[in-house]
Structure 1
Amino acid sequence: MFRYILIFFLFFGLVAEIYTYIAVRTVIKTKWIQWAYLAVSLIILAYIIYSFVTFDRSHGQTKRSLFTVALLLLTLLPKMIITIILLGEDIVRIIAGGINLITKGREGGFLPERRKFVSLTAMGLAAIPFLSLLYGIAKGKYNFKVRKKTLTFTDLPDNFDGFIITQISDVHSGSLDNAEKIEYAINLINEQNADLILFTGDIVNTYAEEMHPWIDAFNKIENAPYGKFSVLGNHDYGEYAEWPSQAAKDKNFEAIKALYGRIGFKLLLNENVKIKKKGQEIALAGVENWGLNFKKAGDLEKASEGLTPGDFKVLMSHDPSHWNSVVKNSPHNYHLTLSGHTHGMQFGIEVPPYIKWSPVQYIYKQWAGLYEHLGRYIYVNRGFGFHGYGGRTGIWPEITVITLKKG
């Protein structure tokens, strides 16, 4: 499968490279600049191919793989735009050439010359994703945003009116590389003065040791009055690497589960706890990862044991496809589900309240922010860290603050 993907990208990359070179040659007539462009492009292409071919799955994602994917996007997406525009120009040129051939014969020539204006326009439009991705890599991945929502429920216990929940998700500690920015984000978490702090999974990319340099930093998340709780995400199971033995994989999994405790979070493994305040209580349940296209270790029935229809219930479930497929229609009637997982694909456009778009919306119906079904809600956190692509463009890292109100 990997070979076919690589062949596809090579073919598409070759077509995009040809059209981009045509645009450069049309706009810039200086030969040495044209040759310099070709040389740089070939070096980048060779590096990307080499990195993909020599990728060692036993090590999972590395800083090098993050850089390679970022470099691929930086070069491919702008060239895709140039290719689409120049391909459109070629279609127009062919139609015009056909008309010339019919009306003027061979003397009129066939294809009109390329217009410099079209190539300039293509290169100008291609600069938009290029600069956006560049910003996402340099700054965007740590452009933390605190997003606040107030949710009103008629059956919320009176003593929980104004109760504040802060949520983080998808830390992906193996990708983090800036201690100062992480300290800033943790200060933002502490500034929310939450009653309850929840972490909805993916503390690492693959290996427990990825979190070791960051344990002291995340231990600075202050204890909330009603506790700090967490669940596992799909990356916490070590599924995305090749292991020398099952025993090694199991040992890593146990170490990852222990990490949550080492930073002060109580890990809920298909279980629930009661959060009590002045003689009243709400239920907090946490399931292991359950994803429509990922590991299905979550057991909602087990996590709901001992709960009654009259309980006010909050659920932590890493993958929002669990809510869409199971939770929202469950007779257990969870009032609020908190998820993460999608990262908003770390790429998109958000201009509240007018525009909210990312390619990930074609995969997940609930992919970022708040969604409602028959009076029950899910909030999908856009993620604290980053994975795959070493940046964020338009979809910024998030700290969620939800205030519960009595309706």
Structure 2
Amino acid sequence: MQFDHSPKTQDLINRLEAFFDKHVYPTEQDHYDWNHNPANLWKRWPGIDKIKEHAKAEGLWNLFLPHEYGEFSPGLTNLEYAPLAEIMGRVPHSSEFFNCSAPDTGNMEVLAKFGSPAQQERWLKPLLAGEIRSAYVMTEPQVASSDATNLELTILPDGDDYVINGRKWWISGAMNPNCKIWIVMGKTLLDNPRHQQHSQILVEPGTPGITIVRNQTVFGSHNSPGGECELRFENVRVPKENLILGEGRGFEIAQGRLGPGRIHHCMRSIGQAQRALEIMSRRVENRVAFGKKISDQSSIRQDVAKSFCEIEMARLLTLKAADAMDRHGNKGAKDLIAAIKVIAPQMAQTVCDRAIQAHGGMGVSDDTPIASFFTLNRFLRIADGPDEVHMSQLGKLKIQEYNALPVR
């Protein structure tokens, strides 16, 4: 068992860290100020395209796409990508600089794996080039969407088109002015078994019959320029050639998409926890209370020590899950993916909570990124399936597995 990164991975780590020092950390405050200025709502930060061009020129582009996707991939394994995603997680918006941000990553994998040649030419290539953004339209307001068989939006055939009717919400990225394509999931084969009813289809945002009902704030933030929003589809007509893979194949596509997306979130969560710990450690070493440095307080030292231990445990589980995906496929690694999806966001939230407490009033402000890390990871405990669903499925799987073993 090898715990050191390969020379190839270490080289990419070094190059990515140098890129952050040159292009990402120096612009972090400017990016934040732009996106939190009400005058710039739903506008892209002006500096983004220049940094993306630098990333392309330095070969730090589309690093997320696994090696099995051939010509579309830079050739990295999930294990090789993990430390790179962790670095990107330290500044959450930075993933877009390298064309490695959700929901585009999952949508590109869907199109690379399941898309027709025409769909790949029209939508995958500009996504891979970072020329456009995309959204994944799944969750609905009127049903518990953690059970995706509940989804009620319909995608029904009519002549040369499919007609879409229904409501969606919490659609990340749909309000971005550069978002040009959505992948929409809904029911097509209404009389089929529950897991064979749904399909996924490509829909352009400007198609007649689509209404953006509202922007949905998250912990008081619009999350501009992408945001989250509620959508209404009323007799939206889409050409049949926009259907992905085939009628009733929606769950097959969703399972292929969500595994990598879940672990990518975890990789980035570890980066946020690590940075919060570093910021906390510097803060307590440079503040004095009651006649001695805060870092001399036993409770503070324990918080730092516990945070280090928890980050290391989550990091190792993430790497194990990534390695299992490379060796056995996403389905073969589903237990480890579920486990880290439960562990990593909660760990990051806990570490950030300690860092907030160590900062006092400054901790709940936007003077450091820690408060935003805290809320982001609280959100991630719901996104891509809530903790309870992952734990229920993981528990069921392990009970079956252990009962199949010989009694010893």
Q: TM-score, normalised by structure 2?
A: 0.26
- Greater helix content: 2
- Bigger relative CO (Cα 8 Å, ≥ 6 apart): 1
Q: TM-score, normalised by structure 1?
A: 0.26
Structure index of larger Rg: 1
